[in-house]
Amino acid sequence: MVPMPYYLIVGAVLFVIGIAGVILSRNLIIMFMSIELMLNAANLTIITFSRFLNLMDGHVFVFLIMAVAAAEAAVGLAIIIMLFRNRETIDADKFNLLKW
């Protein structure tokens, strides 16, 4: 049996990697994927707690979060496509027309 906190630690580490990716990366697509990683860290945490509490509710949450991730992916990628058409770059530092 794997002790419960191990899973939580993996989840927390993945979450932090996701945050670091958003803050440090300069490529919009990688920033966006880091956000996906954060959502999945949350998913792992929820599933762990769900098993620990012996409640199935968490599985439903993960299901709903996947729908949210899909919606965000669709809109976010569409915005990125539009941006690329107008600017030919997805380097976050190039978007400096407005003060960041």
Partner 1 sequence: MDLKLATIDLGLIAPEIIIAAVAMLILLLGNVVRRRTILAYFGLFGLVAALLTALPRWGNPASGFYGMVQADNFAIFFKIIFIIAAGLTILMARRYLISHEIESPEFYALLLFSAVGMMVMAATSDLVVIFLGLEIMSVPLYVMAAFARHDVSSNEAGIKYFIMGAFASGILIYGIALVYGATGTTDLRRILADWGFFEMHSQLFLYSGAILVLIGFGFKVAAVPFHMWVPDVYQGAPTPVTAFFSVAPKAAGFAALLRIFTYGFADMSQLWAILWILAVLTMTVGNILAIFQDNIKRMLAYSSIAHAGYILVALTAGGDGAVSSAAYYLLAYTFFNLGAFAVITLIDTRNSSTAQIDEMQGLSGRHPFLAAVLALFMFALAGFPPTAGFMGKFYIFSEAIKNGYIGLAIIGVMNSFVSVYYYLRVVVVSFFARPNKEFEAVSYTPAIFIVLVITAAGTLILGILPGYWLSLARAGIFQFL
Partner 2 sequence: MELIIFYLAAVVAVGGGLMMIMQRNPVASVLYLIVTLVAIAVMFVQLNAVFVGALLIIVYAGAILVLFLFVIMLLNLRGEKFAEKRTRLDRPTRIILAVAFILELLAMFKQVAFPGRMDELMVQASPDFGGARPVAELLYTKYLFPFELTSILLLVAIVGAVVMARRDEKDKKRGI
Q: Can you list the pairs that 85-91 forms with residues at least 24 positions away whose Cβ atoms lie under 8 Å?
A: 90/27, 90/28, 90/29, 91/26, 91/27, 91/28
71 binds partner 1 per the rule CB under 8 A: yes
Q: Is 30 in the site for partner 1 (CB under 8 A)?
A: no
Contact string 53-82 vs partner 2 (x = CB under 8 A): -x-xx-xx-xxx-xxxxxxxxxx-xxxxxx
10 near partner 1, judged by CB under 8 A: no
- In this structure, the number of other CB atoms found within 10 A of the CB of residue 11 comes to 20
Of the pair 2, 97, the CB lying nearest partner 1 is at: 97
